[in-house]
Structure 1
Amino acid sequence: MTESDAAAEQVADLVAASELAGVPDEFQRLWTPHRMVYIQAGAAPMHADCPFCAAPHKSDEDGLIVHRGTTCYALLNLFPYNSGHLLVCPYRHIATYDQATPAEVAEIGAITQHAMEVLRRVSRCDGFNIGMNQGRVAGAGVDEHLHQHIVPRWDTDANFFPIIAKTKALPQLLGEIRRAVADAWG
């Protein structure tokens, strides 16, 4: 094969590949630009720095923060189960609920209540999953910093995606949700 034949074959392969971009295959694809922070940080970004200690030092937009309290704050989950999935964290780096002060426990509760009111207004959700996974064995993704999940739920949110395709559909980008929740916090 000559050099010009090889070059012509490469061009043909590139043209064929570009035509395949819209051809359906067996893979499901979801647009998740918020995950780039983890890809760019390397293999184990969660172990390098605590994301819940770092977030309050960022702008609200960059830290996905919707409310800053005295001892605790609320932010969007970077890996949401549903749109509007919030986390309530103490500023202090503590691992479990029993290490929280009475003031932190009270503010976690107060922020959780207000977050539920805000999410009902903003997203018209029908219910919530609220909970804490404490320790890696209990399912905590960040086990060294206490955080409570507030996951809005809708009567119609349990479609076939999670069951059949092991896929969650998130209809809004994190920045849009953060802005709407923060604006409604009041």
Structure 2
Amino acid sequence: MIDILWAGWRRTFVEGVSTKQEMLGCILCKLGEPNTVESNLVLHYGEGNYVVLNAYPYAPAHLMVIPYLHHNDILDLSQEEAIENTLLLRRAIGIVRDVYNPDGFNVGANISKAGGAAIDDHVHFHLVPRWIGDTNFATTIANIRVLPESLDSTYGRLKDAWEKRDQS
């Protein structure tokens, strides 16, 4: 028998995924278009990259840094995109560290399906905060993740911190 863990805030996203993907094409390209920032969980729009809260986080404050241009390989990034990407990852680490005080981070990209990418045709970089003992029986036994707060709460905390850092 399978147990169900309720995550009601995800319903709106899950119900529209296939339709949205068919209509919009690449979801990462669409997320990079400036619009209602809160609805897309975008924290920052840079020159060549943007920073977004992952809608399916591995851990609280799981962020992604994504180039606007549709590249399927890290080798296709321009030097400017690559430099800004690294600078945004550094900035995001500082902000997440200030807000959540993790014990460490995983930072990287899954390139291609074979490399583990869920979206394999638009390269993107993950920043996953980690805490000692942050995986528990639920991940191991039930293949689920338990998050201590909603995406909206996480977004609000990080957006406030990002804006404060912009002002200093």
Normalising by structure 1, report the TM-score: 0.80
Contact 1:34–1:174 (Cα < 8 Å) also in 2: no
Deviation of 1:71 after TM superposition, in Å, equals 0.7
Normalising by structure 2, report the TM-score: 0.88
1:137 alignment partner, one of 97, 101, 114 = 114
3-state SS of 1:111 partner? helix
Match of 1:169 in 2: 146
Deviation of 1:115 after TM superposition, in Å, equals 0.5
Tell me, in whole angstroms, the C-alpha distance in 2 between the residues paired with 1:61 and 1:73.
14
Aligned residues: 161
Tell me, in whole angstroms, the C-alpha distance in 2 between the residues paired with 1:159 and 1:151.
16
- For structure 2, the residue ranges without an aligned partner over 5 or more in a row are none
Match of 1:126 in 2: 103
- For structure 1, the residue ranges without an aligned partner over 5 or more in a row are 1-24
Contact 1:35–1:78 (Cα < 8 Å) also in 2: no
Compare CA radii of gyration and give the structure with the larger one: 1
Match of 1:182 in 2: 159
1:51 alignment partner, one of 24, 27, 42 = 27
Tell me, in whole angstroms, the C-alpha distance in 2 between the residues paired with 1:113 and 1:166.
30
RMSD between aligned alpha carbons? 1.7
Give structure 1 regions of 4+ aligned residues with deviation exceeding 6 angstroms.
Answer: none
Tell me, in whole angstroms, the C-alpha distance in 2 between the residues paired with 1:151 and 1:143.
19
**1:86-132 Cα deviation digits (max 9, x unpaired):** 00001111111000000000011000011111101111111011110
Match of 1:69 in 2: 46
